[in-house]
Amino acid sequence: MSSMVPFLAIFIVLSLGVLGFMFLKAQIGAKLLQSKGKDAALKTAQKRLDHNPRDAQALQIAGNIYFEDQVWDKAYKAYETLIDIGSNDQNVYMRYGLSAMKLGFQDEAYKGLTLARAHKQDNFEVNFNLGVLEFQRNNYEKAISILQQVRAQDPEHAATLRYLGHAFFKIKKYKEAMSFIRKAIDIAPEDKESLYTLAECYFEANQQEQALKVFSHLRPDPLMGPSACLMCGSINMERHQYDRAVEDFEIGLKHQNIKPDASLELKYKLATAYLKKNEIGKALTYLRDIQTTNASYKDVAILLGKYQELNANKNLQIFLMAPSSDFVALCRKIVMTYFTRAKIKISNISVNKNEWADILAEVDTPKWADVVMFRFIRTQGSVGELILRDFHAHVKEVKAGKGICIAVGSFTDEAKRYTEARLIDLIDKEKLVVMLNTVDVKAAALTAASGKSHNKTL
């Protein structure tokens, strides 16, 4: 058996030599054929491939011509076959990988470029495209490692700087990302996607002024404009600059060919901005539009249910959303019309932030007279026992004979039980809405009656 080893070794060496000679011959033959002219060379190569589909020389000629002419599918097939029959040429691996990238065949592209890089570590084109491919495969750390090697070969290569910046952004290293993206934009200022990512870096680094400046610059851009408008508006919303936010979102919606998801989000944000401005009618227009397109989008159904009622009831709007001065004025009106045929004098008003208002009134009716404390709670939801305990303590403190708690929500069972043995009446949202629907008429009648009484006195 040991005597066969030298013969096997000789056989392997000779086989590899023959194979190498064949591919060398194929490359020389390909150059000679191509010197005759591209069309003639391709025609000759195709005839040979019709006779023998695995003709290495003809495959080399056809593959090179197709690659140079950017006929990627045919180039890919030619190089794939060359690799299959045993080609060990770095250029074949590289062009196979690049053709596969153009066709969107990531796995095949990765195979070809990795084999090409194994032959030669410092090939600029191989390394750059392999770095891009690692980025596309979400292998950002690997992409950075390879692209740093590419950058060492050409520090001013804009595409390398661009992908390095975007890769650092993906791994949330915003300082490094900003550095590379700025350099890439200096070389290729028309790259709007990188400009947008630079603004995102500023935003993530809490540099909102710079972010807003760049996003604002991108608002008119046909491609990046809708997203830039969304970011501008969102930043202005956080700053309570609702008029500016409305302008941003409206500009975004004016773009042509806007993506459905971006359109929905812009409309939702615009509706939210209008709600912040208490322009409920305008907000409802966009909320209904969203519901028509996507009925389950975020909390649109809940918002519609809530604000359609508010839009139909101006006083409910005031109770929930108006500034404190308007809210208190409405509460005064309710107090003055709460008791039938009564003389009422308001002696004190106190407001707890924007949550509730307490009004102390002296009430004189034909049957009784007393001091009554009103509490108007404008926050929605259930009112619990703790708030009622606080209210009861306040009633006792001012020596009122009765307490009336009016809420735009409901009362918990515990709150109801707490008031059963105490002189406190609970008015929930259902009863409040009835009051709000009639208070203006009652107030007008009260004013008219007061005017007549005054005239009689005169």
Cα 168 to Cα 172: distance, rounded to the nearest angstrom:
6
Report the CATH number at residue 444.
3.40.1350.10
Looking at the structure, do residues 122 and 184 belong to the same domain, yes or no? yes
Instruction: Examine the fold and report which residue of 257, 282, 312 is the final residue of a domain before the chain moves on.
Output: 312
Mean pLDDT by 10 residues, the chain (458 residues): 47 46 48 63 92 93 94 95 90 94 94 92 94 96 96 95 97 96 94 96 95 97 96 96 97 94 97 94 96 95 90 90 93 94 94 93 94 94 94 95 95 94 93 93 81 53
Residues 277 and 391 placed together within one structural domain of the fold: no
What is d(CA 99, CA 79) in angstroms, rounded to the nearest whole number?
Answer: 9
Which is it for strands 369-377 and 402-407: parallel, antiparallel or unpaired? parallel
Final residue of a domain: which of 286, 312, 338? 312
Determine the pLDDT at residue 106: 94
Please tell me whether residues 260 and 280 are part of one structural domain: yes
Give the CA-trace dihedral at 110, 111, 112, 113, to 10 degrees. Answer: 50
Q: Alpha-carbon distance 55 to 53, whole Å?
A: 6
Residue 110 lies in a domain: yes
Please give the Cα distance from 315 to 422 (Å, whole number): 30
The answer to the question of residue 84 being in a domain is: yes
The Cα 117–Cα 93 span in angstroms is 9
Domain that holds residue 196: 20-312
**Residues 94, 82: Cα–Cα separation, whole Å:** 12
8 Å CB contact between 280 and 315: no
pLDDT digits (tens, 9 = 90+) for 294-312: 999 999 999 998 899 888 8
Residue 397 domain-assigned (yes or no): yes
How many C-beta atoms lie closer than 10 Å to residue 90's C-beta?
16
Q: What is the pLDDT of residues 216-231, one digit of tens each?
A: 999 999 999 999 999 9
pLDDT at residue 214 in the model: 97
- In the chain, the N- to C-terminal Cα span, in Å, equals 139
Say yes or no: 292 and 366 in one domain: no
* 8 Å CB contact between 45 and 62: yes
Q: What's the Cα-to-Cα distance from 308 to each of 246, 259, 284, 356, 439, rounded to whole Å? A: 21, 28, 7, 23, 20
For residues 376 and 4, give the distance between their C-alpha atoms in angstroms, rounded to a whole number.
104
Residue 16 in tokens: 């590899």
pLDDT digits (tens, 9 = 90+) for 120-168: 888 999 999 999 999 999 999 999 999 999 999 999 999 999 999 999 9
Residue with tokens 């008429």: 441
Same domain, 350 and 275: no
**Nearest to residue 377, comparing CAs of 403, 349, 412, 409?**
409
340 close to 367: Cβ distance less than 8 angstroms: no
What DSSP line would sit under 357-397, residue for residue?
EEEEEEEE-SS-EEEEEEEEE-S-SEE-HHHHHHHHHHHHH
Contact criterion met (CB below 8 Å) for 230 and 265: yes
Among candidate residues 355, 357, 353, the one with its CA nearest the CA of residue 373: 357
State how far the Cα of 248 lies from the Cα of 335, in Å rounded to an integer: 43
Do 134 and 203 fall within a single domain?
yes
Amino acid at 454: H
Q: Is the pTM of this model over 0.85?
A: no
Asked whether residue 227 falls in the same domain as residue 358, the answer is no
- For CA atoms 320, 321, 325, 326, the dihedral sign is negative
Distance CA 52, CA 58 (A): 9
User: pLDDT tens, 366-391?
Assistant: 999 999 999 999 988 899 999 999 99
Instruction: Count how many domains the chain has.
Output: 2
Q: Does some domain include residue 215?
A: yes
Residue-by-residue DSSP string for 121-162: TT-HHHHHHHHHHHHHTT-HHHHHHHHHHHHHH-TT-HHHHH
CB under 8 Å to 374, separation ≥6 — which residues? 331, 334, 335, 338, 358, 359, 360, 361, 403, 404, 405, 406
Judgement on whether residues 211 and 146 belong to the same structural domain of the protein: yes
